Amino acid sequence: MSIFHGMNTTASALTTQRLRMDVISSNMANVDTTRAKLVDGEWQAYRRKTVTLQPLEGKFSNFLNVARGSGGKGNVGNGVKVTQVKEDTETPFKLVYDPTHIDANEDGYVEMPNVDPLREMVNLISATRSYEANVTVFNANKAMLSKALEIGK
Amino acid sequence: MAIESISLFNPSQINPVSSTPKMSSAEAQENFGDFLKSAIDSVNESQKASDVATEKLIRGEDIELHEVMIASQKASITLNATLEIRNKVIEAYQEIMRMPV
């Protein structure tokens, strides 16, 4: 637990939010992709991806400290990490009537990706704000350390 | 239930003055020099880490921008801490030199 512990924690959060942003970019880019995967000789539309987050556990010594219940420092946490980028299989594909489309079925319907641009925009705002908030935390952290250097000046 | 003793410490915890090892001034200087060297080395280490991160970024390797910024900020803070210590040391030296003999 160094003086940079808080900064490292913030760094993990920033990395996570960047990854969220990347996933949202992928979802938005593939909003019209009908050929994402070839399943049994048939093209399947793109499925929107979601990110699963988990607190970063850190080293063994942290577990030991928590188990011993000693020293609140073992309990402060180490940040956040992405455990998996999962495909959203819950939301069904959107069916669009377009007989001229190359991937239309016999009835003329095309399975479009289950990406909802509105939802992605909301997630985008959330990721951006979260990133900003973490940058603020970082700057506060730095300001605190700089202030400590002024002790005795 | 165990009853704790009233006194905050027992006399055995206090080191007798005689047990502190005597050190010649040359040894003390050497120890201080080593300590200073290792401290400056660790500061240099963070400067190097910042340099490596920056180079990675400009080469277009797989590194996040905020990681580079954070590395440079860490380097800046450790350097500032070193400067602060240097100022204190020089201040103490000048204070001694100003002593009227």
Chain A residues within 8 A of B66 when measuring between CB atoms: 11, 14-15, 18, 135
Inter-chain residue contact B67 with A138, CB threshold 8 Å: no
Residue A100 lies inside a defined structural domain of this protein: no
Phi, psi dihedrals of residue B72, rounded to the nearest 5°:
-70, -35
State the residue range of the domain holding A126.
5-31+49-87+115-149
pTM above 0.80, yes or no: no
In a domain, A44, yes or no: no
pLDDT at A1: 55
Task: Pick the range with the lowest mean pLDDT from A36-40, A84-88, A124-128, B18-22.
Answer: B18-22
Q: Is residue A103 domain-resident?
A: no
pLDDT of residue A67: 77
Mean pLDDT, to the nearest integer, of A103-126? 93
Q: How many domains does chain A have?
A: 1
Task: Confirm if A78 and A58 have CB atoms less than 8 A apart.
Answer: yes
Confidence at residue B21, expressed as pLDDT on a 0 to 100 scale: 67
Cβ contacts below 8 Å, chain A against chain B, sum to: 29
- The beta-carbon neighbor of A14 closest among B66, B77, B84 is B66
Å between B36 CA and nearest CA of chain A: 18
* pLDDT exceeds cutoff 90 at A64: no
The pLDDT value given to residue A77: 81
- β-sheet bridge partners, residue A95: A111
The pLDDT of residue A78 is above 60: yes
- In whole angstroms, give the CA distance from residue A47 to residue A90: 10
> Is there a domain that residue A99 lies in?
no
Torsion of CA A18, A24, A29, A34, to 10 degrees: 140
pLDDT class of A139 with cuts at 50, 70, 90 = very high
Closest CA to A93 of A14, A137, A35, A148: A35
Question: ipTM of the assembly?
Answer: 0.74
> Which of B73, B84, B88 is facing A142, going by the closest CB pair?
B73
pLDDT value of position B9: 54
Q: What is the pLDDT of residue A7?
A: 93
Q: Shortest Cα distance from B85 to chain A (angstroms)?
A: 9
- Is the Cα dihedral B71, B54, A80, A14 positive or negative? positive
Is A9 within the bounds of a domain? yes
CA dihedral A12, A16, A17, A18 (to 10 degrees): 100
How does residue B28 score in pLDDT terms, banded at 50, 70 and 90? confident
